[in-house]
Amino acid sequence: MREAFTRRIDDRAARLTACESGMELLAAVRTLAADLVVLDLGTHGLGGLLLVSAVQELAPGLPILAVSATADADGRPLIQKGVPHVILGAERDGELQALVAQLGGRRGVALGAGLR
């Protein structure tokens, strides 16, 4: 999933910082001026809800786009946590690409955690 997402970001002339783990994502949120966090719900280590809480505390107002390669993941807890953008079955390129373009902002910086 990471390669496909990176290709989509590269095509938009944006900068992507891909993080291998939730801890790496949190370090990046602390140090980079990101416009968007793209969170793979399959991230190893810290769970999706815990990462969302930590990102919201570190960078209030930073948009989070939660994605899952499988359509059977449950996005309701994320929506209840305040993540308005949840894409299940992220192979649907059009929806993911449109949201990244909409949420990406001017600086064009995105962070990804666990994008496989």
Quote the mean pLDDT of the chain.
73
pLDDT, position 60: 93
What are the tens digits of pLDDT across the range 31-70? 988 888 888 877 666 778 888 999 999 999 988 888 877 7
For domain 2-113, which CATH number applies: 3.40.50.2300, 3.40.50.300, 1.10.1740.10, 3.30.465.10?
A: 3.40.50.2300
Q: How far apart are CA 66 and CA 111, in angstroms?
A: 11
Assess whether pLDDT exceeds 70 at residue 112. Answer: no
The more confidently predicted of residues 46 and 82 is 82
What is the per-residue DSSP string for 30-58? HHS--SEEEEETT-SSS-HHHHHHHHHHH
Burial class (CB in 10 A: 0-12, 13-18, 19+), 69: middle
- What's the pLDDT band for 79 if we cut at 50, 70, 90? confident
For the chain, first and last CA: distance in Å?
5
- What's the pLDDT band for 3 if we cut at 50, 70, 90? low
